[in-house]
A and B are shown apart, each in its own frame.
Chain A
C-alpha cells in the first residue's frame, strides 16, 4: 500500500479545504474590533448559539474520536458504547459550573480560567499552580494533535508524504489563521470543521449500515464469531466504565478551551441553547463511531496483526478503490479527520497562548502593560509554542507520549478548586492548594509506579478522592490559610 490513493482530486480537495481555513482567518481579522485581550481571545464575547455550538462541538471531538475510538471498539467490542456516556458527562458537568461562572465572567471580564481562580481565592501560589497544571495538560494535548496530523498524513498516503510534512504543513495553516483572527478565526473554522466531521460520520454510517437489517446481520455475526465482544462486559470493564465517566466528565469540563467558550458566549440564552444541543451530540457522534468499529470487526476479520489505530485508515483506503460515491465519501472523511484534529489543536493553542501571555507574563515581566501589547505578545507566543512542539513532534528521539497519559488525571485535580469554589464558601485557597498538590502527587505517583488503575479505577480518580477529602478536612477542621493578595473575598473586587 503505497502512494496517495486520492490522486489529483484529493490534492485539489485538500487545497480547497486549507484555502477556506485561511480565507476564514483573513475575514476574521477584518471583523476584529480592537486589539484587546477580550476581542482576540474571546471574540469580544459575541458568540451566538449556532457558532458557540459548532465550536464547542469541534473542540470537544478531536481526531481521536474518528481514529482512536473506532480502533478502541475494534479492540474491546460493543463495550466502547461507554464513550457516549463519558462524552455526555462533560456536558452534564457544565451544569455544575456554567450557571454561576458565566455571570461572574461577564461582570468581571475574565479572559482565562485562572482569572476565576485568582478572583475567588486571592492566593497567587494557587493561581500559579493551577496554571502550571493547565499548561502541562494542554501542551501535551496539543502535542498529541500535532503528532496525529503527521501520523494520519503518513498513514493515508502509505508513506508517500512523510510524517514531518504533515506536522509542519497543517500546523503552519493553523498558526497563520489563528494569528490573523484569534478566537473569531478559530470558531469560524470550527464551524466548517464540525460540519465536515458530522457529515463524514453520518455518510460513513449510511454506507456501511444502510438498513436496520444490515445492522442486525452485523451484530449477529459478532455474537457468533467474536462473542466476548458482544457479551455483557465483565466486572473489570464495568468498573473502568464508571471510572472513565467520572474522570472524563470532571476533567473535560475544566479544559481551559471549553471554559473560555463559556466566557465568550454572547448571552445566557446562547449558552443555554448550546449546552442543551451539546447534550445530544454524543449520541449522534459516538454511536456511528462505535458502529464503524463493529463493522471493522467483520470487515477486517481476514487480516491479522491490525493495531487499533489502523482500523479507520484501512477502511478509507479500501473505499478509494470502490465506486465514485465511496471514493468521494472516503475523501470527505479523511478531510473530516484532519479537520477534527485541527479544530482541537487551534482551540488548545489559543488557550495556551492566553494563559502564558496574560496570566504568566502579564502578572510578571509585563505587569501593567496595555492589553494591545499583551495581545501582540500572545500572538508571538503562539508561534513560539508551535515551533517548540513541532520540533518535539518531528524529532523521533524526543517523545512525550507517556506524559499524555497524565493529561486527564492532572486536569481532574483542578476540578475541586474551580467548581467547588463556586458553591462552597468555606473552601479556602490554602486548603485547595494543598489538596490539589496531594491529588496530583497521588495520581502521578500511582501511574509512575505502574498502577495507572487501582482495582479498575483510574489513578486520577483515586487522586481526586484524596484531593476532595483534603479539601473538606483542611477547609473545615484546620482552615488552612496562605498569604493572600488582598482580602480573600470576591466582594473586594466589586
Chain B
C-alpha cells in the first residue's frame, strides 16, 4: 500500500516554540517521576519521620515539587510566544 502524504501543519512550531519537541525535557520528566515513586526504597514497617511525615513521603513530595518547578522553567524558557517562521527548526519544512 502506498504511503499517505504527510500532512503539512499550517503553523510550524519548532523546538523554540514547542517544548514538546525537545526529547531531553521528556527524559527529565521521566527521571523526576521515577524519583517521585518510592520503588527504590527498602520496605520497612516503621519508617523514620522527617518534617512530620514518613521520610519516603517527603522524598516523593520533593520530586513532585521539582516537577512543578521544572514545568515553570520549561514553559518560561522553551515555549516562545512568537510563532516561528516556516522552515526554521521545523522538521516538517524539509
Instruction: Kindly identify which residue among B2, B11, B33, B45 contacts A227, using a CB–CB cutoff of 8 Å.
Output: B45
Q: Is the CB of A88 within 8 A of B52?
A: no
Q: Is the CB of A494 within 8 A of B39?
A: no
Q: Is the CB of A99 within 8 A of B7?
A: no
Q: Is the CB of B57 within 8 A of A81?
A: yes
- Say yes or no for A480: interface residue by CB 8 A criterion: yes
- Cβ contacts under 8 Å, A215 to chain B: 52-53
* Cα–Cα, bound, A287→B61 (Å): 9
- Cβ contacts under 8 Å, A97 to chain B: 20
- Say yes or no for A481: interface residue by CB 8 A criterion: yes
- Say yes or no for A219: interface residue by CB 8 A criterion: yes
Q: Is the CB of A280 within 8 A of B61?
A: no
Min Cβ gap B87→A in Å is 14
- Cβ contacts under 8 Å, B61 to chain A: 81, 84, 283, 287
* Cα–Cα, bound, A423→B90 (Å): 11
Q: Is the CB of B49 within 8 A of A283?
A: no
Min Cβ gap A253→B in Å is 11
Q: Is the CB of A92 within 8 A of B29?
A: yes
- Cβ contacts under 8 Å, B51 to chain A: 212
- Cβ contacts under 8 Å, A121 to chain B: 7
With contacts A88-B67, A88-B68, A287-B61 known, is A96 near B20, CB below 8 A?
yes
Which residues of chain A in 198-232 are interfacial with respect to chain B, using CB atoms and an 8 Å cutoff? 212-213, 215-216, 218-220, 223-224, 227-228, 230-232
Which residues of chain A in 80-121 are interfacial with respect to chain B, using CB atoms and an 8 Å cutoff? 81-82, 84-85, 88-89, 91-92, 95-97, 99-100, 103-104, 107-108, 120-121
Binds B, one of A49-57, A180-188, A234-242: A234-242
* Cα–Cα, bound, A219→B57 (Å): 11
Q: Is the CB of B53 within 8 A of A219?
A: yes
* Cα–Cα, bound, A212→B5 (Å): 61
* Cα–Cα, bound, A213→B18 (Å): 45
* Cα–Cα, bound, A162→B57 (Å): 40
- Cβ contacts under 8 Å, A490 to chain B: 7-10
- Cβ contacts under 8 Å, B65 to chain A: 283
Min Cβ gap B17→A in Å is 6
With contacts A81-B61, A287-B61 known, is A489 near B5, CB below 8 A?
yes
- Cβ contacts under 8 Å, A268 to chain B: 81
Q: Is the CB of A272 within 8 A of B8?
A: no
* Cα–Cα, bound, A318→B29 (Å): 42
Q: Is the CB of A81 within 8 A of B60?
A: yes
- Cβ contacts under 8 Å, B68 to chain A: 88, 279-280, 282-283
Instruction: Kindly identify which residue among B1, B8, B60, B75 contacts A95, using a CB–CB cutoff of 8 Å.
Output: B75
User: What size tier do the contact residues of chain A reach?
Assistant: 35 or more
User: What size tier do the contact residues of chain B reach?
Assistant: 35 or more
- Say yes or no for A33: interface residue by CB 8 A criterion: no
- Cβ contacts under 8 Å, A96 to chain B: 20
Min Cβ gap B78→A in Å is 9
Instruction: Kindly identify which residue among A120, A279, A493 contacts B67, using a CB–CB cutoff of 8 Å.
Output: A279
- Say yes or no for A425: interface residue by CB 8 A criterion: yes
Q: Is the CB of B52 within 8 A of A99?
A: no
Min Cβ gap A403→B in Å is 29
Q: Is the CB of A232 within 8 A of B1?
A: no
* Cα–Cα, bound, A96→B8 (Å): 18
- Cβ contacts under 8 Å, B46 to chain A: 223-224, 227, 230-231
With contacts A84-B64, A245-B33, A272-B81 known, is A231 near B44, CB below 8 A?
yes
- Say yes or no for A366: interface residue by CB 8 A criterion: no
- Say yes or no for A22: interface residue by CB 8 A criterion: no
Min Cβ gap A482→B in Å is 10
Instruction: Kindly identify which residue among A232, A430, A480, A491 contacts B43, using a CB–CB cutoff of 8 Å.
Output: A232
- Cβ contacts under 8 Å, A423 to chain B: 20-21
- Cβ contacts under 8 Å, B10 to chain A: 104, 107-108, 490-491, 493-494
Q: Is the CB of B43 within 8 A of A231?
A: yes
- Cβ contacts under 8 Å, B1 to chain A: 478-481
With contacts A223-B49, A279-B67, A489-B7 known, is A85 near B56, CB below 8 A?
no
- Cβ contacts under 8 Å, A313 to chain B: none
Min Cβ gap A222→B in Å is 8
- Residue of A whose beta carbon sits closest to that of B5: A489
Q: Is the CB of B9 within 8 A of A78?
A: no
The interface bits of chain B over 60-84 (1 if a CB of A lies within 8 angstroms of the residue's CB, else 0) are: 1100110110011011100101010
- Residue of B whose beta carbon sits closest to that of A421: B7
Q: Is the CB of B53 within 8 A of A489?
A: no
Give the one of A85, A104, A224, A475 with max B CB within 10 A: A85
* Cα–Cα, bound, A269→B5 (Å): 34
Q: List 26 A-B contacts (CB under 8 A).
A: A81-B57, A85-B36, A85-B37, A85-B64, A85-B67, A89-B33, A92-B67, A97-B20, A100-B20, A103-B13, A103-B83, A216-B52, A219-B53, A230-B47, A230-B54, A232-B41, A232-B44, A232-B56, A272-B81, A283-B68, A423-B20, A425-B9, A430-B4, A481-B2, A491-B10, A493-B10
- A residues contacting B by CB (< 8 A) are 78, 81-82, 84-85, 88-89, 91-92, 95-97, 99-100, 103-104, 107-108, 120-121, 212-213, 215-216, 218-220, 223-224, 227-228, 230-235, 238, 241-242, 245, 268-269, 272, 275-276, 279-280, 282-283, 287, 422-423, 425-426, 428, 430, 475, 478-481, 487-491, 493-494
> Which 4 pairs of residues, A with B, have the shortest CB-CB distance?
A425-B6, A215-B52, A279-B71, A216-B52
